[in-house]
Amino acid sequence: MGEGISLHFVTRGASSSVYAIDEREVVKLFRPAVSGEMIEREAWASRRAVELGMPAVASLRAVTMEDARGLVYPCVKGRTLLAAMRKRPWLSGRIMDSMARLQARMHETPATSGLRYLKDVLRTDIIYGPGGSALKVAALERLEDMPEGGQLLHGDFHIENVMVDGDDLKVIDWSKAALGDPAADAVRTEMLMRFGDGPEDPLTVLSRDWAARRWRASYLRASGMDRERLDAWRPLVALAWLRSRKPIRQRAFEHYMKDAAGKAGLLR
């Protein structure tokens, strides 16, 4: 980039720091550990999402600034859903409903191509992740019977990756996108909401669990999906997540996973 650009720090995300370039644009500068493949996927998927009519923020261009790789995006003026809930906690239920309706609408988009398949990602993560081998074998067998699907799935759909933009919501951070069955993406959101990065004090845990239940009820209503489809994916997505998840609420997550595996008949 040319000299003389002064950046104003906006916020830190899990994999990046975001700076304002000017009134209209921000640059997301990735930490060195983030692979080029992931950055390219984020750029590509954010654009494809917009082409498919999803309310995504599409990457404008790739840049390198002082050795850090980055993507430039149009600046969204509003706040994330997390910030919106903190500001007006009494609206949290309605915010969950809006988020669920948005995700259900995105999941109605026709199948597409040009990206990795979620089933392949889950298979690799289950194989190389921790976990008892009997459960892994049962899960890998079951995975083969699950529908491939071909919808563009966000893969990391949580309250810090959805932003309020005027009267609309906009989806950012497409680095974990893949093609697959929408139910797998939905169940992943449930997990992120309850066990993803973030505070884990008892009061927050209660509200996270409450929010996840509200989101799930709204998602099932908006999508018309049977809860059995979520039940079928839950243990597979949970097991795959073990490969990379931080040990947040580890005991509760183990219980959740075991329960899901039992319900899906994987623990015989």
Burial 41-51 (b: 16+ CB within 10 A, else e): bbbbbbebbee
Contact pick of 1, 11, 51, 255 for ligand ADP (by CB under 6 A)? 11
Asked whether position 159 contacts ligand ADP by CB under 6 A, the answer is no
Angstrom distances, CA of residue 40 to CA of 30, 72, 174: 12, 12, 10
* Using rule CB under 6 A, residue 44 touches ligand ADP: no
Q: How far is the CB of 150 from ligand ADP (least distance, A)?
A: 25
Residues 10-49 that bind Mg ion (CB under 5 A): 13
Q: Is residue 15 close enough to count as binding ligand ADP by CB under 6 A?
A: yes
* Interaction of residue 59 with ligand ADP, rule CB under 6 A: no
| Radius of gyration of the chain measured on its C-alpha atoms | 19
Which range binds Mg ion by CB under 5 A, 115-123, 140-148, 160-168, 205-213? 160-168
| Structural tokens at position 165 | 């933009």
Please count the other Cβ atoms lying within 10 Å of the Cβ belonging to residue 228: 10
- Smallest gap from Cβ 73 to ligand ADP, in A, equals 4
User: How far are the Cα atoms of 23, 89, 166, 235, 249 from residue 156, in angstroms, in the given order?
Assistant: 27, 23, 23, 17, 19
Q: How far apart are CA 12 and CA 222, in angstroms?
A: 32
Residue among 38, 65, 75, 143 that touches ligand ADP (CB under 6 A): 75
Question: Side chain identity at 9, as an amino acid letter?
Answer: F
The CB-nearest residue to ligand ADP is 13
DSSP for 120-188? HHHHHHHHHS-S-HHHHHHHHHHHHHS----EEE-S--STTSEEEETTEEEE---TT-EEE-HHHHHHH
Answer with the entry of Mg ion, ligand ADP, none that 157 interacts with (C-beta below 5 to 8 A by kind). Answer: none
Please identify which residue in 59, 92, 103, 161 interacts with Mg ion, judged by CB under 5 A: 161
Asked whether position 189 contacts ligand ADP by CB under 6 A, the answer is no
**CB 11, min distance to Mg ion, A:** 10
| Residue 46 binds: one of ligand ADP, Mg ion, none (C-beta under 5 to 8 A by kind) | none
Q: Which residues bind ligand ADP (CB under 6 A)?
A: 10-11, 13-16, 18, 26, 28, 57, 73, 75-76, 80, 160-161, 172-173, 175
Q: Which residues bind Mg ion (CB under 5 A)?
A: 13, 161, 173
